[in-house]
Structure 1
Amino acid sequence: MANFSEPSSSLSFTSHLSNGSISHNISNSSGAEAGSSLEVISLKKLSSSLEQLLIDSTCDYSDADIVVEGTTIGVHRCILSARSKFFHELFRREKGSSEKEGKPKYCMSDLLPYGKVGYEAFLIFLSYLYTGKLKPSPMEVSTCVDNVCGHEACRPVISFAVELMYASSIFQVPELVSLFQRRLQNFVGKALVEDMIPILVAAFHCQLTQLVTQCVDRIARSDLDNISIEKELPHDVADEIKLLRRKSSSDEENNTEAVDAVREKRIKRIHMALDSDDVELVRLLLTESDITLNDANALHYAASYCDLKVVSEVLSLGLADVNLRNSRGYTVLHIAAMRKEPSVIMSMLAKGASALELTSDGQSAVSICRRLTRPKDYHAKTEQGQEANKDRLCIDILEREMRRNPMAGSASISSHTMIDDLHMKLLYLENRVAFARLFFPAEAKLAMDTAHAATASESAGLAASKGSNGNLREVDLNETPAMRNKRVRSRMEALMKTVEVGRRYFPNCSEVLDKFMEDDLPDLFYLEKGTPDEQKIKRIRFMELKEDVQRAFTKDKAEINLSGLSSSSSSSSLKDGISNKLRKL
């Protein structure tokens, strides 16, 4: 319709012209449209042809290499020089470190005065230079592995946009700088305040004044602690944020400024001692003032910025609460999860840190870790002899800890949060018992009988949508929160006892179930999902699982029948009963 509206309007303003003039105008208009269409077609063909230089390995006419994250990318200097002032100056000024065949080679890290540009981000940038079209961001590097995340402003989404901003700014492509500045501005109101830090740092280095102002204002009004601001932001930016906070503080707060300054100075001394790896000095500073490790959030600080040796030494002092919350409601384990260092996480768990403590917005340590992890990093394969995949290891450690102690938790959590948390724990236990009944019906029945677990809601985990006593989402108007909590805990204790009995008397069957719940459940639960090759692999694994189930059943039954039953009498009688019941079944 739009194509016809303009000629119609034009005709109404030239009705006094002769028919010949009108025909001439229409002819010119049609010719212009045809020329415009031809130009669009030509540009599309040119774009597609140049794209082949990037994606078609048989069209390797590159005359320079750029190494990004250990991968070499062949580029064409004439195209990069024509599209980027940075590369024009670079190729004119120097030839790079030549290879034997004389092909210049550049390392990405040497080209960047600040920031980071990864392999996938550079490919997106290169594609734009060659084709004039911006491709969608690859999911494996621009999303996180948290299944409930909408990926609107999680850290991988922000980090990938920041990388593209660095590439656009450093390599001097103004239209892309404008585009990604708007994209980062969209994150300012959505992202967690700690995820604002990489945006602000990028805006500062790329001299994006408007974006810097927005980020500074958001952080100044947030509860982000001064330590994080000082440690992670440029000095000038940190000073500006602290100045804004002082201006907005009340007169009452100004009256206590002197007292707070003394206290802050003493805390800073403790942090400086930690930075120097001097835990003995920390001990001395504690004796000279009334400041404690908890007052200084020393464990939080060490978990964020110090190496494992310092973290271990602070823990060994035995003077800090591993489940202490800082001013933002984060425990030390939450901070360790943000750092994504397995050894720090393990140290905290070994000292009694709870993996089930939740932040004020309902995040556990493992969900924090998942929202920081890209699928590419989570699924990365580790060759023998190489360093372990830390991203997956952190998540695995925390998930296993949650399953190992599903009743752990904090009494400080609100009732609504506690109920939601209990729902997750109960759902796991219900599913585990339900799958035990599916794979090992005889053993599961015996374990439930021994544990006196009620069977009224035995399938709550797998069929919660049908409604069952184990479904926490059911609403009983006559049931108080305390009654509901008691009912849920009672059911959970029965299921936990069932699992414990199963582990004790059917260890091989339990081992198969543990492996299934940990590794195979998401895949094998949806055999029809994925590509034909993925479905084939799932079916093969399913057949292997059936064999594992049969072997475990046979092995446990043989061990019960052949055991000497030489332990305590109560244990022997229980084993005898189980053996007799198994023979009947």
Structure 2
Amino acid sequence: MSLEESFKSLSLDYLNLLINGQAFSDVTFSVEGHLIHAHRCILAARSLFFRKFFCGPDPPLAISEHPIRISSPSSNSQVIPVNSVGYEVFLLLLQFLYSGQVSIVPQKHEPRPTCGERGCWHTHCTSAVDLALDTLSAARSFGVEQLALLTQKQLASMVEKASIEDVMKVLMASRKQDMHQLWTTCSHLVAKSGLPPEILAKHLPIDIIAKIEEIRLKSSIARHSLAPHQHHHHQHHLHFDLEDQKIRRMRRALDSSDVELVKLMVMGEGLNLDEALALHYGVENCSREVVKALLELGAADVNYPAGPAGKTPLHVAAEMVCPDMVAVLLDHHADPNVRTVDGITPLDILRSLTSDFLFKGAVPGLSHIEPNKLRLCLELVQSAAFVISREAGGNGGAAIYPPMNSEVNNNMVSLSLDSREAMNRHGSQGSCDSPMYSHDF
């Protein structure tokens, strides 16, 4: 057994003592109606606060500037009431004292009044930020500096994706508790947000707003002080470094389904969703709901061509053979006839895949394509193209449906029938397999 495995085993053994409750317990805390059974020797060994509390002549009523009201046990009761610290935070504190590690994440099964998003994983939402701030305050109050440092590190990671309101909340806490690193991170994020002083004044005191404006001024002077004839190349790279940082933040936000943060970046930081290829990234990596929310911001061109090939998001969705993405893009006026630099339309891609599937179905490279999804994508794009042709006064779609030889036509009918039977048998397997895609024409 390695040293790391030995420490992990030791950590779990001690944590099991806490989990198993009354086994060998010699002290019980009451927090928000919950009883927590613990062990004096472990708490005293791991925390100076508890050492003084259990062993000192007078139980301490406060540590530093942070009052922690823990009533001393009376002679007729072994239960110690704990006030001013919530049950969840106190339990996290004890978990760290027992095991040396803890995950500061709100319980996912519990409803959170500060988190309006259903199914949120609480990695950087308001609930997660609030819990981390409460844990940090408790760690400082109980003198558990290792937990305080761990929580600061987690907060520094959280604020990169958190809403600007939560960043300002962390900014205030970092000033109050003299956390210089966290203060620097948060103050620069607020400065970069572009929010005007009159908006900041609703959340921050005047002296902090002055600091924010000072950071903005220094940043502005640094940008303009670079002499064009000497530093043009450096300035060029600086611009792209800043843009790359924005794009990375945007992608992290999309990965976490945080479209609100993307919206703030668009409004406050001037993020260009098209140049950042936000829709292309969303189609390739995110859910239908995220792409839909992005489109509803109204700040992205649904037909924006990306890269040297000039692919639009609909080209990408067609290549992925994902009806979910095809449907939501068409619902927001994606053009089924838009061409790449090589003159390829999304419809061409789907027809080519259909042909390949029919005649080369055994090719390993095409094994990921499901006939059900392919048929749905083809129907959606063909229908949209047909409607556009009809509205433009076309000839009823003759240009949209070019003649195909009888063998291909027969195979298409066979594919459609086989797919329909497959849908009847397996229609509920997943979101992309569902036949319930509708498109308003």
TM-score, normalised on structure 1? 0.35
Structure having the higher helix fraction is: 1
Pair member with larger Rg: 1
Normalising by the residue count of structure 2, what TM-score does the alignment of the two structures yield? 0.44
